[in-house]
Amino acid sequence: MLAIGDQAADFSLADTDGNMTALDDLLRDGELILYFYPADFSPVCTAEACLFRDNFQGVEELGISIVGVSPQSVSSHKRFATQFKLPFPLLSDVKKTAIRAYGVDGMFGIGVRRVTYLIDRQKTIKNRVVADLSAASHLAVLKDTLSRR
């Protein structure tokens, strides 16, 4: 799993509209909160996405983007983002290429760990939260980021 100070791994994944999105694209305008989650529509993942949604405006005002990544399909992400009015992109990593590159694959390759990274424009991991069963813990990255500004 990538740690604070490590270089973020490059990737290119499809967003909810099927457009390919690379890490460089996401960092073009500023820092990035990149969060990995196990599955669309599960209770904890839904709570986590809604926490990010509810705090999106303050983060966006600082020029920081939020992006979620999980192994579900583009169509699943589209339904999830629409139903919960998510103002940020979700990326589909069906083959788990980014999930493995960031070291967040579940035990024995099953599932995905719930991990949030703050990545600066130089692709350095500035902060990280690992909490598989708690969505609220991931809000710490947002609060820490907002408090530094």
Total number of domains in the chain? 1
* pLDDT for residue 148: 63
Q: Is residue 78 part of a domain?
A: yes
pLDDT in the model for residue 146: 66
pTM of the model: 0.92
With respect to residue 53, please indicate whether it lies within any of the assigned structural domains.
yes
Residue with tokens 């460089």: 24
Q: Which of 26, 27, 32, 45 is catalytic?
A: 45
User: What sign has the CA pseudo-torsion 142, 87, 45, 25?
Assistant: negative
Residue 107 is predicted with a pLDDT of: 83
Q: Domain residues for 41? A: 12-148
For residue 4, is it within any domain? no
Q: What is the pLDDT along the chain (149 residues), one digit of tens a residue?
A: 999 999 999 999 999 999 999 999 999 989 999 999 999 999 999 999 999 999 888 888 888 999 999 999 999 999 999 999 999 999 999 999 999 999 999 887 788 999 999 999 999 999 999 987 776 776 777 677 666 65
Annotation marks residue 50 as catalytic: no
In a domain, 133, yes or no: yes
CA 34 to chain centre: 3
Q: What is the pLDDT of residue 121?
A: 95
Burial profile 26-61: b = 16 or more Cβ within 10 angstroms, e = fewer: bbeeebbbbbbbbebeeebbbebbebbbebbeebee
73: left (phi over 0), alpha (psi -120 to 50) or beta: beta
- CATH number of residue 47's parent domain: 3.40.30.10
Across-strand partners of 87? none
Residue 7 lies in a domain: no
Does 37 map to a domain? yes
Q: Round the CA-based radius of gyration of the chain to a whole number and report it.
A: 14
In a domain, 39, yes or no: yes
Between strands 32-36 and 115-119, the pairing is antiparallel
Q: What is d(CA 106, CA 89) in angstroms, rounded to the nearest whole number? A: 23
For residue 6, being part of any structural domain is answered with no
